[in-house]
Amino acid sequence: MVRGLLLVDKPSGMSSHDVVARLRRVYGLKRIGHAGTLDPEATGLLVVALGNVTRLLDYFQAKTKRYSGEVVFGVETDSYDSSGIVIATMEVRSLDLQRLGKALASMKGELSQVPPAVSALKVKGKKLYEYHRNSQQVEIKPRNVWIDSISYLPGDEPNVIKIEVVCGPGTYIRSIAHDLGVAMGTGAHLRNLRRLESGKFSVDEAHELGQVGSEAIMPPASAFRDFKVVGVGGAVALRARRGLSIVLEGEHADQLILFDADLGPFTDWDQLIGLFNRESDDLFRAGVVLPAIN
């Protein structure tokens, strides 16, 4: 059985679901999932889990992500990006850079953000783009998001800037572009969105979709770089495999990835036991346990 973690550089024009469907054919697996959806027009890093490693996907949802993109001023679309329908245009003779700097500065830290009306976010059990497609009105409530940093450089065209954003999960870069357009009084939309990093994973490590195979699956020790990885053996490994609580003295992390050290260094996904959380002092309780593959 194939299982593991895979980093894909998603191409433009495919949804994250399309990528998963392609990978199911490549690996002959039904059980494949991804952490953090990318819009169809966006490119960049998509973290994909294969086989029962999908049970750990919630733990691969990175606390911070880094994106790049371009903000085009003077043109507003219904989706807040270049894939949408143009709903307003305005002539922009030149950008007020002082005003732009203040607008960008106001977006740092915690802020309330309204998601785009054309998005996969669910409201009352339906995705927002379904309401939009059927011309139905629905209240879109703002959400609190976190932006660590946001910077810009002049673009290659007039009234276009290149932005780079480091932010928390759930942040819509499209909404940032839209809000910049509102702040500048010109309208704006986003284009060429690219995810550069997710946690400690970088798009530089990712494989193009046409180049994936068994060799593209990450070594397990590298895949769990955001976690404390501990090898256990003997009776402790047996208890852990059964999902029972275990005692590990001297471990200070609150969350551990355990592997079967009786099988040697952590080089094979079959050695993965699962994720354990500290319950008290040296006692750790099973969070997610993956069955051994015989």
Catalytic residue numbers, as ranges:
39
Residue type, 67: Y
* Distance separating alpha carbons of residues 107 and 27, to the nearest angstrom: 42
Tell me if 194 sits within 8 A of 67, measured CB to CB: yes
Per-residue CA distances from 2 to 24, 27, 32, 72, 168 (Å)? 11, 7, 10, 43, 31
How far is it, in rounded angstroms, from Cα 71 to Cα 153? 10
- E-strand ranges in the chain read 4-10, 32-35, 43-50, 65-73, 75-77, 86-89, 109-113, 122-123, 126-127, 143-154, 160-167, 188-198, 201-202, 207-208, 228-232, 246-247, 255-260, 272-280, 283-289
- Contact assessment for residue 26 and residue 209, using Cβ atoms and an 8 Å cutoff: no
Place of tokens 């011309």: 135
> CA-CA distance, 158 to 152, in Å (whole number)?
14
Q: How far apart are CA 123 and CA 143, in angstroms?
A: 13
Report the interhelical angle of 173-184 vs 97-105 (nearest 10°): 140
What angle (nearest 5°) sits at the alpha carbon of residue 281, between those of residues 277 and 285? 30
Partners of 97 in the β-ladder: none
